[in-house]
Amino acid sequence: MAKIGMIGAGSWGIALSVLLHNNGHEITVWSALADEIAMLTAAHEHKDKLPGVKLSEDIVFTTDLAEAVEGKDILVLAVPSSFTRKTAHSMKPYVSAGQIIVNVAKGIEESTLMTLSQVIEEEAPQADVAVLSGPSHAEEVGRGIPTTIVVGANSRATAEYIQNVFMSDVFRVYTSPDVLGIELGAALKNVVALAAGIADGLGYGDNTKAALITRGITEIARLGMAMGGKFETFCGLSGIGDLIVTCASMHSRNRRAGILIGQGKSMEEAMAEVKMVVEGVFSAKAAMGLAKRYQVELPIIEQVNEVLFQGKEAAAAVKDLMIRDKKLETPDSAQW
């Protein structure tokens, strides 16, 4: 049995708490929101973000960060990406040397263009930082629906330890040394999912969705490989796997926000209606910053940025993608 501190009580943190408790581990859940902790303590259910998913009576809920961090074998950092740095900074005094922090949020810090594991390592350098990602909606994981995911870590021993803690008959965990590739796939797919939702909102069909998924993973891999990620990672669970589920499912807040934007709502109106953090909005600008730094073309992500932040009509963005200069599909075709 492992002692686990769940840092964040949103839908993903709660779903993972249920999974890990079912695996036999001791769980302490932390939130900065006193009202949230009061609700969880009284109802043992997150009625707002994961209704119907019950938490065991022996799970501890707290607003005391020291209680959630100190003495734990694993800390799971499950706050929205925009709060990762602040939370990691607050955790630092309580984190011991070599203590494992598993980041499960998906995003890129807009101001620094750092991945979230890089942010955590900067704020709590004494920690052993890993990432967990893949096609895994909280609504399904919380209900025990079979899911497959990947853990990335700087050492095989850490990755395999996390694998053993999380793995069950409904939650299969693979390991990978490509932490950077896993994080980039996880963050950038949210931007492409916004594009897929926009296309749905415009009333386009399956052909359009397939094109966005296929060309979207090409963009993600192009940038990821330029930054040092491995091609195989973008063909795997945190790449094409996560992209497919996020572009296709109504569980996806990014797709839902995109649908609303395609129907004519502003980015702010869409985020307010979804009522949850839409990570792709925060990652979109960061992706373009990385594209400029590494001199990589990201036409889909560029058009998403123009719709989100420059007031471009969604239909005009799709048209501009369609009438771009003629291209070879793959670089190897240049041998003709």
pLDDT at site 332:
66
Size of the chain, expressed as the number of residues it contains:
336
Residue 69 neighbours by CB under 8 Å, 6+ apart: 5, 7, 30, 75, 91, 94, 95
Q: 268 with 250: CB under 8 angstroms?
A: no
Residue 134 neighbours by CB under 8 Å, 6+ apart: 147, 148, 149, 150, 237, 238, 241, 242
pLDDT at site 193:
94
142 token code pair: 């919380």
Dihedral angle sign, alpha carbons of residues 255, 261, 264, 269? positive
- Positions in the chain short of pLDDT 70: 332-336
Q: Are strands 128-133 and 74-77 parallel, antiparallel or unpaired?
A: unpaired
pLDDT at site 197:
94
pLDDT at site 182:
98
- Burial annotation 259-291 (CB, 10 A radius, 16+ → b, else e): bbbbeebebeebbeebeebbbbbbbbbbbbebb
Dihedral angle sign, alpha carbons of residues 160, 175, 22, 83? positive
Among 189, 209, 230, 285, the active-site one is: 189
pLDDT at site 278:
84
- 106 catalytically annotated: no
Q: For the chain, which domains are there?
A: 3-177 (3.40.50.720), 180-324 (1.10.1040.10)
pLDDT at site 240:
96
pLDDT at site 301:
96
What sections of the chain are H helices per DSSP?
Answer: 11-22, 34-43, 65-69, 84-91, 116-123, 138-141, 156-166, 179-201, 206-227, 231-234, 242-248, 253-262, 267-274, 279-294, 299-309, 314-322
pTM of the model: 0.93
pLDDT at site 112:
96
pLDDT at site 327:
85
